[in-house]
Structure 1
Amino acid sequence: MSLDTELDLEKLNKDLGKLSPKKIIEWALSIAKKAVVTTNFRPYEGAILQAVSSVKNDVEVIWCDTGYNTPQTYKHAETLIDSLGLNIQLYVPKQTVAYRNVTLGLPSIDDPKHVLFTEQVKLEPFKRAMKIHKPDVWFTNLRKGQTAFRDSIDIVSKSNDGTLKVSPFYNWSDEDLDGYLVENKIPNEFKYFDPTKVESNRECGLHI
């Protein structure tokens, strides 16, 4: 099987649902010409980063840093980058936070300017990164139960541009991941802030 052939996503997800995250990752890498992992170092991101890097340690890890992360998140990111030897590819907005504070501020999600804010700090850097790296397989840590949209996908789905999106821990709960992190001695960090979402059950638009 390869990405050059049409995939039966329904059957594929049924089959992959019987496998461990590691086996799902191995399968995805076997058909990929270029795979990437995306991360924002939010809680539980250590699981997907460790799982993918343990199978292939040079996979490019795209980090789109909004510039609004907490000090704890930045320290957590450095810890994971160093301990896992991640091949980090860092992308940041074209505008600095200081400049945006003067010209746009930090608009609430009800403010019409929030659309532009989200485009600047998250969507544009992400689209730029994907255009440069051109992956055909994209590993994420999306999980069922996070948002209504994420409940509608599965372990494997396709993004609008045809990239195969693979979420090896899709059916795992927080408790499952807690155990995985402890077993693999991976730190976690909960002091995280996403200025484009604010509410944890809200999509920013990156995955839709």
Structure 2
Amino acid sequence: MSNRLALNTATGAETLYATADHFHGLEPQDIVARALSQAVAPLLSTNFRPRSAALLHLVTRLAPDIPVVWVDTGYNTPATYRFAEALTRRLKLNLQIYTPRVTSARRAAVMDGVPSLDHPQHGAFTQEVKLEPFARALQELAPDVWLTGIRAEQTDFRRTLGVVSRGPHGTLRVAPFFAWHVVDLEDYLYEHNLPDNDDYVDPTKVLDERECGLQNLGAGI
């Protein structure tokens, strides 16, 4: 990254952070538009979980070529892979897929597969299949603004973040649907005739209300 680009990136992200309070009460589309107006290198992340089509649709209407990062852990359901393929084609996503350095087949054959949530190796498993690939994506794509689908009602930790918060590697995390509820997302899908995925599994979280660590990266990896 050139010095000039680095300066512009920092300036745009810091402007967003300095005006973070102004985002509260805005509609998601206005949040995205304001974030994109300041971003130099925005990035959108997804996992193709239930109702994920809403954010993908909203953001790509305003920024069709935005890089969309998907960390494919290798443990997604067949339905999730089909959903990802269909939605990528429909929305013409600029999908950037990042995968673990160890395949799920190799892990199953020589590393005893997926450790249970209470197993001592579960933290290392999460680091290897999700956190490291996402960190790699951030290092390679060098975004200044990270658009994410997190919402306040999901976990106690996420509730503390707000619409705009500091993310990893100098990024600014922007959550357009932060104040929305599940029913709001479902209404959005219905209004725009978007498909959904009701067969999703995340072996790093297991429980819906549990953090895998991805959103805790603001403090470093």
Output the TM-score relative to the length of structure 1. 0.94
Alignment of 1:90-129 (within 5 A): 90-104=97-111, 105-129=113-137
Q: Residue by residue, what CA displacement relative to the aligned partner does 1:145-202 show, whole Å, maximum 9, x if unpaired?
A: 1111111111111114321101101000000111111111111112100010000110
Partners of 1:85 and 1:160 in 2: CA distance: 27
RMSD, aligned α-carbons: 1.7
Does the CA contact (< 8 Å) of 1:37 and 1:61 recur in 2? yes
Q: What is the deviation of 1:106?
A: 0.8
Q: Secondary structure of the equivalent of 2:140?
A: helix
Aligned residue for 2:90? 83
Does the CA contact (< 8 Å) of 2:114 and 2:125 recur in 1? yes
Partners of 1:167 and 1:84 in 2: CA distance: 20
Q: Structure 2, unaligned stretches of length 5 or more?
A: 1-7, 217-221
The answer to which structure has the higher helix fraction is 2
Q: Which amino acid aligns with 2:88?
A: I
Q: Is 59-68 or 71-80 further displaced after alignment?
A: 71-80
Partners of 1:55 and 1:3 in 2: CA distance: 22
Q: Secondary structure of the equivalent of 1:207?
A: helix
Q: What is the deviation of 1:2?
A: 7.5
Q: Residue by residue, what CA displacement relative to the aligned partner does 1:114-164 show, whole Å, maximum 9, x if unpaired?
A: 112111110111111110000000000000111111111111111143211
Partners of 2:9 and 2:96 in 1: CA distance: 26
Q: Structure 1, unaligned stretches of length 5 or more?
A: none
Does the CA contact (< 8 Å) of 2:138 and 2:169 recur in 1? no
Select 1:42's aligned residue among 33, 43, 49.
Answer: 49
Does the CA contact (< 8 Å) of 1:69 and 1:192 recur in 2? yes
Does the CA contact (< 8 Å) of 1:3 and 1:32 recur in 2? no
Q: What is the deviation of 1:13?
A: 3.9
